[in-house]
Structure 1
């Protein structure tokens, strides 16, 4: 008499094609700033859209800098100290011009590591010299949740 197995047939795990690149999760509809905008206008935009900063582009939509709340705060502080109106100062005088970008084809998990190592809140994505998108830490977190959900679904099917 042989041994009988009471295990049922094992389910085959289905392979689910899940997007894993930065360009799959980046924001494409961006709020951008122009170098010639006043700092006051930049502050109004940051507040209105509840964002902490954004890319600065020229007329050809080439990335020329990043402006952040911190950059604007420096202007507010100095304006008060030197009693100078903010309307006089432009974004181009306060923006960071050394901008680190990220490759849209980078794996989303590598992007998470890049965020940790660079201590940045956002990275612009440039293709052929033009700004095409931006990825934030929040975008990476959303991707992680979606990927976890997709993986869990593929195991339980």
Structure 2
């Protein structure tokens, strides 16, 4: 069984110039926890997950986000946490997205996909064909297709 046989073809994604606000909206609207980031040619340039968001909701030291944070605090009487979350919403997705993305080819065998998901301890794998995003496979997709139990 190959990736193209089990992958989800309708992939929720964000563009590399989108704001984190668009990511959060897709997470909430579609009940998902991660998104591939693509350029205008639909090539994968990053991946952003709820874990990446969690790291920035908490206290951190990041020059890009901190610039917006200090700007928000300076402009008014804003709570520190509120300023940090507002700054995050207005940041560019590529400011915090992972740029080194593990992907699989559209014809990758399911055994290899399972091995990658397990070894890398990731939940989803973007699928590409000729360098373009064509689908996504989750751990659940692999389990459902390997074990046909009702």
TM category (shorter chain) comes to: 0.7 to 0.9
Moved more, 49-58 or 105-114: 105-114
Question: Following the alignment from structure 2 to structure 1, what is the Cα–Cα distance between the partners of residues 49 and 26?
Answer: 11
Write the deviation string for residues 93-135 of structure 1: whole angstroms up to 9, x where unpaired.
0100000111222221222122111111011111111111111
**TM-score, normalising length from structure 2?**
0.77
2:45 corresponds in structure 1 to 64
For the aligned residue pairs, the C-alpha RMSD in angstroms reads 2.0
Gaps of 5+ in 2: 60-68, 70-79
**Structure 1, gaps ≥5 residues long:** 1-19, 150-157
Determine whether 1:24 maps to 2:5.
yes
Per-residue deviation, residues 8-59 of structure 1 (Å, max 9, x unmatched): xxxxxxxxxxxx1121000110100112222122112101111010100111
Give, in angstroms, the shift of residue 75 of structure 1.
Answer: 2.6
The number of residue pairs the alignment matches comes to 129
In our comparison, the structure showing a higher alpha carbon Rg is 1
Answer yes or no: is the 8 Å Cα contact 1:39–1:75 preserved in 2: no
Q: Tell me, in whole angstroms, the C-alpha distance in 1 between the residues paired with 2:51 and 2:125.
A: 16
- How far apart are 1:91 and its partner, in Å? 0.6
